[in-house]
Amino acid sequence: MSLIQEYQTYLALFVSHGSAYFFKIVVALLIFFIGKRLALWITALVDKTLEARGVDEELVGFLHSLIYWGLFAMVIVAVLAQLGIQTASLVAIMGAAGLAIGLALQGSLSNFAAGVLIILLRPFRVGEWIDAAGESGKVRSIKVFTTELRTGDNKCVIIPNARILDSNIVNHSSTGRRRVDCVFNIGYEDDIHKAKAVIQSILDADDRILDDPEPVVAVMALAESSVNLVVRPWTTTDDYWAVFFDLNEAIKTAFDAENITIPYPQRTVRTI
């Protein structure tokens, strides 16, 4: 075979194999650019959906990165497969690495999952007063891993989100109204109807007390040394503590003015 014939043979092989590989490269580039744009579009659609539902910005940003890079990783695997590179071992390595990271960060991931559920399900919102995980306070912030409360004495309490979901959550602010529960004791010699009328007049004069539901003033129990009257007016969440404190003071003052006694516990002992 002459040198020219040998050159033509190599050129034909290069053209045939090169054109096939060139086609693979073109298809791989198309997969890369189209897949990348599709990942951006899906991520933007998820962002808009979450923002429309009022999801926390921190969670939106975290999910944005998580979804985008997850889709981008799938695009890279598809590109490598198109180029003829074996991706089974790469996927296995990525899966093993993900499992190892998941086991190492098990506690953090449980807090993250709980934070996502709290933000999506909204059992409470920022500014509401709740009882959760043995703590009580106003919600200052809801983050991906923790929730921050501010207690009544201005302490900052940071609770892992998993602990919150593992406990009962009491939201005192969700309905906008709260019932004030008070018990006042009067003597057996005092007039029950007069005491109830005095209490009712105080409730009627306070504009912070709601008419609906109607306040309840009733005899709760006939105790050993007193008649116990239960007083249950309703007020807004913001006025709860002010009404509670003012109501106790106002009723005590009115009882003193009307000579209605609040007896001390008494016990009669007979000796034989």
CATH code for the domain in which residue 153 is found: 2.30.30.60
| Residue where the block lists tokens 């919102």 | 125
What separation in angstroms does the CA of 203 have from each of 28, 189, 257? 78, 24, 17
Are 244 and 192 members of one domain?
yes
In a domain, 242, yes or no: yes
**Ranges of the chain with pLDDT below 70:** 1-22, 55-59, 61-62, 85-108, 266-269, 271-272
> Looking at residue 24, what is its pLDDT?
73
Are 22 and 85 members of one domain?
yes
What one-character-per-residue DSSP string does 77-129 give?
A: HHHHHHTT---HHHHHHHHHHHHHHHHHTHHHHHHHHHHHHHHHH-SS-TT-E
> Looking at residue 224, what is its pLDDT?
85
> Looking at residue 110, what is its pLDDT?
81
Q: What are phi and psi of 155, to 5 degrees?
A: -90, 145
Domain that holds residue 129: 123-171
In eight-state DSSP terms, residue 168 is: -
> Looking at residue 81, what is its pLDDT?
76
Q: Sign of torsion, CA 72 73 77 80? A: positive
Cα separation, 78 vs 74, in Å, equals: 6
Strand order across the 182-186 sheet: 182-186, 227-232, 216-222
Q: Sign of torsion, CA 56 61 63 64? A: positive
Model pTM score = 0.59
> Looking at residue 207, what is its pLDDT?
93
Tell me how many domains the chain contains: 3
> Looking at residue 18, what is its pLDDT?
54
CATH code for the domain in which residue 45 is found: 1.10.287.1260
